[in-house]
Amino acid sequence: MRQLLIAGNWKMHGTRASAARLAGETLQALDASTDRDIVVCPPFVHLVEVGRAIQGSSVILGAQNLCAEEDGAYTGEVSGAMLRDCGCRYVIVGHSERRALYGENDALVARKFMAAQRASLTPILCLGETLEQRRRGQSREVVTRQLHAVLDAAGIAAFGQATIAYEPVWAIGTGNTATPEQAQEVHALIRSSLAAQDAKIAAAIRLLYGGSVKASNAAALFHMPDIDGGLVGGASLQAQEFAAICRAGAASI
């Protein structure tokens, strides 16, 4: 049985003080249960503070993005090694906001995925179609293309140390969650694409759903056979709500 993984994507909010406070409140709100992994992903400049606040707890630190390059003249960028040095173990790669607002294409996302692994970070690779693409019936095609861009570049073995998040763009921050059945269909597609290359890796990898996950819909989503957790945005900024999502996860396995 795959252990559930719930990741909080805090996006670009807050101050060092408020991030540390949120981390503390999140720890307090969570129960002591260890039957799932919980990751929080604050902005870069809050990583050290949040790392300090969660030190000694079972909550894991992650980042929201990284540079595809290792070191050198890349003004404004942050490398995987720097994130690792700040205590990160996970990093989100290819979030739809990065793809849509910062021009990250499939090839760059694949390079970031590999850069994360070179730095001993577990990438959380985000895949998902836009509303327009879903309306045109292209969801499966888009997700398959995004997945294969990384699979072809990194190889199937790399997915033994990775997590994938299916995040339909039309569900992110909109309150319009995919139904458990809609999400399950795409998750099953992702797992079977991986299984075509390595059944063991496909069975073990955790596939997260993201897009307006809340305490009220988490259990139904996490109950689906190929949904192994969530990538939670807005709701992770409220400690009680995030903890309730984590509990819903625990109750569903």
CA–chain centroid gap for 139, Å, is: 19
Q: How far is the CB of 238 from ligand PGA (least distance, A)?
A: 11
Residue (65 or 117) nearer to ligand PGA, CB: 65
What's the CA gap between 126 and 143, in Å, rounded? 10
CA triple 214-80-40, angle to 5 deg: 20
What residues act catalytically?
95, 167
Residues forming a β-bridge with 209: 166, 230
For 130-154, letters b (16+ CB in 10 Å) and e give beebbeeeebeebbbebbebbbeeb
Does residue 249 interact with ligand PGA by CB under 6 A? Answer: no
Q: Which is nearer to ligand PGA, 128 or 201 (by Cβ)?
A: 128
Pick between residue 80 and residue 233 the one whose CB is nearest to ligand PGA.
233
If phi over 0 gives left and psi between -120 and 50 gives alpha, with beta otherwise, what is residue 173?
left
CB hemisphere CA count around 141 (13 angstroms): 7
Among 42, 51, 123, 211, binds ligand PGA (CB under 6 A): 211
- The partner residues of 124 in beta bridges, in order of sequence, read 92, 163
Give me the least distance between CB of 154 and ligand PGA, in Å please. Answer: 22
Q: How far apart are CA 193 and CA 226, in angstroms?
A: 13
Which part of the chain contacts ligand PGA (CB under 6 A), choosing from 43-51, 54-62, 147-155, 210-218?
210-218
Q: What is the DSSP letter of 63?
A: E
Minimum distance, C-beta of residue 17 to ligand PGA, in the bound complex (Å): 23
Stretch that binds ligand PGA, among 83-91, 150-158, 182-190, 205-213 (CB under 6 A): 205-213
Query: Which residue in 60, 190, 213, 244 binds ligand PGA (CB under 6 A)?
Result: 213
Q: Minimum Å distance from CB 199 to ligand PGA?
A: 29
User: 66 near 116, Cβ under 8 Å?
Assistant: yes
Which residue has tokens 């700040």? 86
What is the Cα–Cα distance from 194 to 81, expressed in whole angstroms? 28
Judged by CB under 6 A, the residue of 3, 160, 173, 253 near ligand PGA is 173
Decide whether 93 or 235 has the Cβ nearer to ligand PGA: 235
CB of 223 to ligand PGA, least distance (A): 18
Residue 9 touching ligand PGA (CB under 6 A): yes
Q: Which of residues 134-153 bind ligand PGA (CB under 6 A)?
A: none
Residues that bind ligand PGA (CB under 6 A): 9, 167, 172-173, 210-213, 231-235
